[in-house]
Amino acid sequence: MGLERIKKVLLKDKTGAREDVSAVLKSDAYDLLDNYFEVEPHSLSASVEVDEFGYYEVKIAARAYRVRGFGRSG
């Protein structure tokens, strides 16, 4: 589902597409990471850059303070 969203954003227009892709990645990455970690919501960052060879460099970073499911009794 996330891949299709990214494809649509990239095909929509080339100017500003990186910012749109970053926003989509950030949203999807937060949803994924939140399944496994207690993520600090405002700590998440995502960026997409294109290098001189045309490769995409994708960087996603977040701060988490606990792994979900650990330390619970049950």
Q: What is the pLDDT of residue 67?
A: 92
Name the 3-class secondary structure at 40: coil
Domain that holds residue 40: 2-67
pLDDT band for position 62 (cuts 50, 70, 90): very high
Other Cβ atoms closer than 10 A to 3: 9
Whether residue 73 is contained in a domain is answered as: no
Under 8 Å CB-to-CB from 30, ≥6 apart: which residues?
A: 39, 41, 44, 62
* pLDDT at position 49: 82
Is 72 within a domain? no
Q: What is the pLDDT of residue 10?
A: 59
Tell me, what's the pLDDT at 37?
Answer: 94
Comparing C-alpha atoms, which of 39, 33, 43, 29 is closest to residue 66?
39
Using CA atoms of 32, 30, 33, 3 in order, give the dihedral in degrees to the nearest 10.
Answer: 30
Query: Is residue 20 assigned to a domain?
Result: yes
Indicate whether 14 belongs to any domain.
Answer: yes
**Per-residue pLDDT tens digits for 8-54:** 665 555 555 666 777 888 889 999 999 999 999 899 998 888 888 88
Total structural domains in the chain?
1
Q: Check residue 27 and give its pLDDT.
A: 87
